[in-house]
Amino acid sequence: MSYFSNIYNGIKSLLTGMGVTGKVFLNARKGTITQQYPENRETLKMFDRFRGEVVMPHDKENEHRCTGCQKCEIACPNGSIEIVWDRVVNPETGKKKKEIDKFVYHLGLCTMCSLCIEACPTDAIVWAQNYENSVYDRSYLTKVLNQPESKLMDGVED
């Protein structure tokens, strides 16, 4: 008897799945999803949830929010973030403070999991909308995110 009940349950499951697929197929004609890339490159708008690449925003005074805490580097499952830092004596207080030299991001290793962005306590790194990342040489996928001579924004602490 279990043989026939297994056949019945299999057919029922198949028809349920095909019903869901049929509803989506019949109702999907309401809006165009496909973009005509690269012809519409100037007007193409990516979705807000799109993950293109990690960037470090700087303000007009060339200041960033990265304190060099390395939480993003630790959270990254495959090592696509590397922070090179040094301790520098603050002339005002006389205490040593961590300062980043380079924030290196390896786009070729990144799985776009967003763990680094969630781990950042100061929101120093965010997702960019850049989607054109194809290159002929992988070395171009390694980027230094902090700009030359950039410094930590005032008021941002660990």
Q: 73-82: per-residue pLDDT in tens?
A: 999 999 999 9
What size, in residues, is the chain?
A: 158
- Which domains does the chain carry? 53-150 (3.30.70.3270)
- Assign 142 a pLDDT band (cuts: 50, 70, 90): very high
Best CA proximity match to 141, nearest among 92, 99, 108? 108
User: What pairing do the DSSP bridges indicate for beta strands 81-89 and 96-106?
Assistant: antiparallel
- Sequence-distant (6+) residues with CB within 8 A of 50 are 127, 129, 131
Higher model confidence: residue 67 or residue 35?
A: 67
- Assign 154 a pLDDT band (cuts: 50, 70, 90): confident
